[in-house]
Amino acid sequence: MIKSLFSIVKGVLIIIPFIINNNVCAQNKGTFSGGLESNFNYFVRDTLIGANDIPQYDHLLYGAESWLDLKYKYGTWEFGVRFDMFNNSNLKDPKSTYSDQGIGNWYVKKKIKKLEITGGHFYDQIGAGTIFRAYEERALFVENSIYGIRLKYDINDNWTAKIFTGRQKYLFGTYPAVIRGANIEGFFTIGKDNPVSIAPGIGFINRTHDDKTISKLVNIVKNYLPEDQTAPVYNTCLGTVYSNISYNSWSLYFESSYKSPEMFKNPFLDKLELTGDTTKGKYVKEAGSVIYTSLGYAKNKLGVTAEFKRTENFDFRTDPTLLVNHGLINFIPPMNRLNTYTLTARYSPATQLLSEKAYQLDIKYAFSRKLTFNVNFSNISNLDDNLLYREIFTEILYKKGRKWRLVTGLQYQNYNQPVYEKEGTEMLIAYTPYLDFLFKLSRKKSINIEAQYMHTKQDFGSWLNVFLEFSSAPHWSFEASGMYNIKPSEKAPKDKNNKLLSILYPSLGLTYTNGPNRYSLRYVKQVEGVVCSGGVCRLEPAFSGIKMNITSRF
């Protein structure tokens, strides 16, 4: 009761600066801004596609999530607060339900000459994020801001230093581990004519476990065979050095990171306990490392980017017993093309934190203002050179003035489904040609047609997807799509007689935009699949029902 009362008082105190003087903004003494995002889902049971046997389909029927952001800036002061609400939501766990509400984020920021002070929740990262990244990705239920204190100091116009300490947010509280970090980065040039620009940085992170977490780890490994038993450590340290170097048409980024030995779970190792229990997954204590580099060239009509990454034992969490996307402190950049079309993005590789060796090459050439060609090749394996993912993606873009635009190409994929999704599957091979045609009927009206065909003998089999959108700027857009399992495999849904079903997954949607407000209403039937954002992925079950989304900015 006392804790709940404290949370309410805290929220009121945070909001006070927004309401004590309604005339402040009008007098140009400050700026007030905010935003709202709300999702409403109505669940329609469909046993054929597997949209059943969770509370929302069985009896709750309805779920919602909402986030209301408020920000106020006055001189060198900045205040922010966010109200979060979850009602029968399946966002936290797609196979369960979650309901709660409260102050999900708040902060106070003050700039005193060269020093910036932030207290409350804050987002940040060091370098590319390999040792630390606090960020939000609502679609994946990732919200790992730091609840604590951060100090940033401008050494001069080109160099900045920062230190922070706190605990990672989880729901409306925090995980117990204490996280602290420091970072210095800057910028300088060498030479006068065609100078070389260099932006170096160095960062440090330390995480300290609490007694309860240490006891939990000790109890886990005490039943291991003696040669497999290891002692957990309270403190884990990470360091990184990085730099961005630019010269004429060339740019180079590199980062090298190290993690001191700590306990983590390796799901690919067999565990043998003294009790005779043999299962997959064993806790080990190892050091970790990440090497990431990117080389780019852009001049005239040609653009080339080459990337390389090597990751070993870099699963870094507030608690090593957490799974999937929970408690991650760092972020390792993905090494595959971020595809946008429904079928080309159906199989996306999640970043492997323990063993990954990957490279990617992207080439884009503009033959003219009308015609552009792009080819991308990516290859991901583990450190034993076992293939995890390979993709060859080609794209041709042709523009006919402002009247119409055509995008077409072909994607080839190897996707190690047993590693990325679930055991009992096999390496997936897919060929996906696609076409995207945009035609402008007038200055404000346009029609967009997308078509993709995926040929594969694995997973659910081959697919055909067609998407149609009509837009009338600046307010209305209507969309209709159908994803059809045109040649189902043995893993596809079956009827009562065990006969394979070629199921159509339709979608109808209407969107209305009025200034900063956007309203979207869609009927959706969606197949089971992986949802990814920047290499962070999770397996989503099938969905059947109605989705409504409202966003507003003010």
Please tell me whether residues 296 and 157 are part of one structural domain: yes
pLDDT at position 24 = 43
The C-alpha atoms of residue 254 and residue 351 are separated, in whole angstroms, by: 18
8 Å CB contact between 206 and 188: no
Q: How many CB atoms lie within 10 A of CB 158?
A: 12
Please tell me whether residue 232 adopts helix, strand or coil conformation. Answer: coil
What local confidence, expressed as pLDDT, does residue 542 receive?
87
Whether 51 maps to a domain, the answer reads yes
Query: Which pLDDT tens digits describe the chain residue by residue (554 residues)?
Result: 344 434 544 554 455 444 444 444 445 678 999 999 999 999 999 988 888 888 999 899 999 999 999 999 999 999 999 999 999 999 998 889 999 999 999 999 999 999 999 999 999 999 999 999 999 998 888 999 999 999 999 999 999 999 999 999 999 999 999 999 999 999 999 988 889 999 999 999 999 999 999 999 999 888 888 888 889 999 999 999 999 999 999 999 999 999 999 999 988 877 666 665 666 788 999 999 999 999 999 999 999 999 999 999 999 999 999 988 899 999 999 999 989 899 999 999 999 999 999 999 999 999 999 999 999 999 999 999 999 999 999 999 999 988 999 999 999 999 999 999 887 788 999 999 999 999 999 999 999 999 999 999 998 999 999 999 999 989 999 999 999 999 988 888 887 778 888 889 999 999 999 999 999 999 999 988 877 777 777 778 889 999 999 999 99
**3-class SS of residue 408:** strand
Answer with the one of 91, 126, 144 that is the final residue of a domain: 91
Q: Which domain holds residue 369?
A: 334-506
On whether residue 548 sits in a domain, the answer given is no
Task: Return the bridge partners of 150, or none.
Answer: 118, 164
Q: Residues 543, 507: contact at Cβ < 8 Å?
A: no
- pLDDT value of residue 4: 43
Q: How far is CA 424 from CA 2, 382, 500, in A?
A: 50, 19, 19
Residues 307 and 158 in one domain: yes
Residues 379 and 420 in one domain: yes
Residues 185 and 440: their CA atoms lie apart, in Å, by 47
Q: So what's the pLDDT on residue 271? A: 64
pLDDT confidence of residue 277: 63
319 φ, ψ (degrees, to nearest 5): -145, 120
On whether the CB atoms of residues 70 and 15 are closer than 8 A, the answer is yes
| Residue 321 burial class via C-beta count within 10 angstroms: exposed 0-12, middle 13-18, buried 19 and up | middle
The pLDDT assigned to 273 comes to 63
Q: Is residue 248 part of a domain?
A: yes
Query: Which of 91, 121, 151 finishes a domain?
Result: 91
Q: Which two tokens stand for residue 215?
A: 């006891």
Whether 397 and 480 share a structural domain: yes
According to the model, what pLDDT value does residue 131 have?
A: 96
* pLDDT for residue 26: 43
Q: Do 118 and 70 share a domain, yes or no?
A: no
- Residue 553 in any domain: the answer is no
pLDDT confidence of residue 48: 86
- In this structure, is residue 105 part of a structural domain? no
61 φ, ψ (degrees, to nearest 5): 70, -25
Domain co-membership, 257 together with 406: no
- Please check whether residues 365 and 490 belong to one and the same domain: yes
Residues 365 and 468 in one domain: yes
Q: pTM of the predicted model, to two decimals?
A: 0.88
> CA 437 to CA 449: how far, in whole Å?
5
End-to-end CA distance of the chain: 35
Number of domains making up the chain: 3
Q: Is the Cβ–Cβ distance between 388 and 420 less than 8 Å?
A: yes
Co-location of 172 and 67 in the same domain: no
Element of type H or E holding 221: helix 211-221
CA distance 521 to 507: 11
Q: How far is 55 from 93, CA to CA, in rounded Å? A: 11
- Using a 10 angstrom Cβ sphere, with 0-12 exposed, 13-18 middle and 19 or more buried, the burial of residue 4 is exposed
Query: By the 8 A CB rule, do 80 and 59 touch?
Result: no
Residue 271: inside a domain: yes
Which own/partner pairs from 216-225 qualify as long-range (CB within 8 Å, at least 24 positions apart)? 216/321, 217/263, 217/283, 217/320, 217/321, 220/283, 220/321, 221/263, 221/283, 223/273, 223/274, 223/275, 223/277, 224/271, 224/272, 224/273, 224/274, 224/282, 224/283, 225/272, 225/273, 225/274
Domain check: are 47 and 126 in the same one? no
* 394 located within any domain: yes
347 and 317 share a domain?
no
Query: In this structure, are residues 270 and 228 in contact, taking their beta carbons and an 8 Å threshold?
Result: no
Instruction: Tell me if 545 is assigned to some domain.
Output: no
Q: Are 230 and 367 within one domain?
A: no
Nearest-5° angle of CA 528, CA 60, CA 174?
75
**pLDDT value of residue 78:** 96
Q: Cα(458)–Cα(279) distance, rounded to whole angstroms?
A: 27
